[in-house]
Amino acid sequence: MNVLVLCAKTALACLLIVAGGAKLSDPASFASTVRLFIPVRVAWPVLSAAAVGVSLGEVAVGVASLTLPAITALDVLVFAIACAFVAVSAMGYAFHRGRSCRCFGTLFQRKFDAAGVLRSAVIAGIAAVALVHVGAAALQLDATARVLLLAAAGLLTLAAFTAARARGTGSEPEPKVVAQ
Partner 1 sequence: MKIPLYLAVAQWTLLFAFGLLLIVVYRQLGRTLHKTDTPAPLGPAVGSKAASLEYSRFADDTVQYLTPGDGQPTLLAFVDPTCLACEKLVLALGTAERAGEFSGLRVLLLTSSPKSYLKVSDAFRTTRLECGRILAQATTQEYRATSTPLLVAIDRDGVVRAAAPAIQLAEVRTFSRACLLPPAGGESIPITPAAPQHENDLEAAAPAAGAD
Measured distance between the N- and C-terminal CA atoms of the chain, rounded to whole angstroms: 67
Cα-Cα-Cα-Cα dihedral sign, residues 95, 62, 158, 4: negative
Do 24 and 161 touch, CB atoms closer than 8 A? yes
Q: How far apart are CA 153 and CA 157, in angstroms?
A: 6
Minimal distance in Å, beta carbon 7 to partner 1? 6
Number of residues that bind partner 1 (CB under 8 A): 60
Binding to partner 1 (CB under 8 A): which residues in 103-132?
105-107, 109
d(CA 117, CA 174): 35
CA 166-158-82 angle, to 5 degrees, is 100
**Residues 6 or more apart whose Cβ sits within 8 Å of residue 154:** 63
| Site track for partner 1 across 52-71, x = CB under 8 A | --------------x--x--
Give me the least distance between CB of 154 and partner 1, in Å please. 11
Q: Give how far Cα 77 sits from Cα of 16, 64, 111, 142, Å.
A: 12, 11, 25, 24
Q: Which is nearer to partner 1, 124 or 126 (CB)?
A: 126
Query: Which residue among 19, 24, 31, 34 contacts partner 1 (CB under 8 A)?
Result: 31
**Interaction between residue 78 and partner 1 (CB under 8 A):** no
* 152 binding partner 1? (CB under 8 A): yes
Residues at the contact surface with partner 1, assessed by CB under 8 A: 2-3, 6-7, 9-11, 13-14, 17-18, 25-26, 28-29, 31-32, 35-36, 44, 66, 69, 97-100, 102, 105-107, 109, 137-141, 145, 149, 152, 155-156, 159-160, 162-163, 166-180
